[in-house]
Amino acid sequence: MKENYILLKDNIKIPRLGQGTWFIGDNKAREKDEIESIRLGIELGMTLIDTAEMYGSGASERLIGKAIKGYDRDKLFLVSKVYPHNAGRNNIFNSCENSLKRLNVDYLDLYLLHWRGSIPLKETVECMEELISQGKIKSWGVSNFDTDDMEELWSVAKGSHCVINQVLYHLGSRGIEYDLIPWMKEHNVPVMAYSPLAQGGSLRRGLLKNKAVQEIAQNRGISPVQVLLAFVLSQDNMIAIPKSGKPEHTRENAEVANITLKEEELKMLDKEFPAPNYKTPLDII
């Protein structure tokens, strides 16, 4: 297994394997399991927890706030995201403060612009830098930015202070390998992969039932889900935030920290799901 952490450009350590929380907190009947899942993940070393003000209109942040109560705040790595329409001077400071209140913490380790909106990047960057100076956040980054978006960001004063880009990436969606990942490596910006196991539905079923995925899982004594997650973590400069609302799935995800796919296994997967050799639109879901 590679190092369990990546060192960001501002010398802050970020875990390579964390917990996503999209759709978590939406249903009161699942709250007990979801809180237990997050707490188990922390116990198993997945101290990176990703959320957003958008998720359940704050319900995800509130549930995380309950789940992390009693833990040493400084040993957690908390990430939240601001809506594009809130990412300007009129709203961002209030949005950040509301996220902190829902999480019941004093600061975020990382604050992301959820996707591009109409507010100029220059204004958002200035506000992010102010939030750092206020001690509300330690670092900032972006989400769902393609290569041209990143280049535009870099043309803005202090835009290069961006430490991460969170985008969709999994075995069945490898478009970012064509030009976005190379650009980010060149500029020392890690990828945070959301939906690393793909969302539910036919695509996910097709990945899990694929003959190469099944063969590797059987030969290694691991699950097909673990093969998919290990593939994402086999990439350099890559962080993965799989979602889990059940303790058994959280444990399954955490075990991947000790799984490293061999070169021949990666070749098998590459043959079944090759990366495109041309530019493709950025996948969102």
Residues with catalytic annotation?
55
CA-based nearest residue to 141, from 125, 119, 130: 125
Residue 98 sits at φ, ψ, to 5 deg, of -65, -40
Q: Is 196 left (phi over 0), alpha (psi -120 to 50) or beta?
A: alpha
CB 48 within 8 A of CB 18: yes
CB atoms within 10 A of CB 10: 11
| CA–CA distances in Å: residue 34 to residues 38, 60, 155, 248 | 6, 10, 41, 11
CA-closest candidate to residue 233, choices 183, 274, 193, 178: 193
> Do β-strands 108-113 and 137-143 pair in parallel, antiparallel, or remain unpaired?
parallel
User: How far, in Å, CA of 53 to CA of 230, rounded?
Assistant: 29
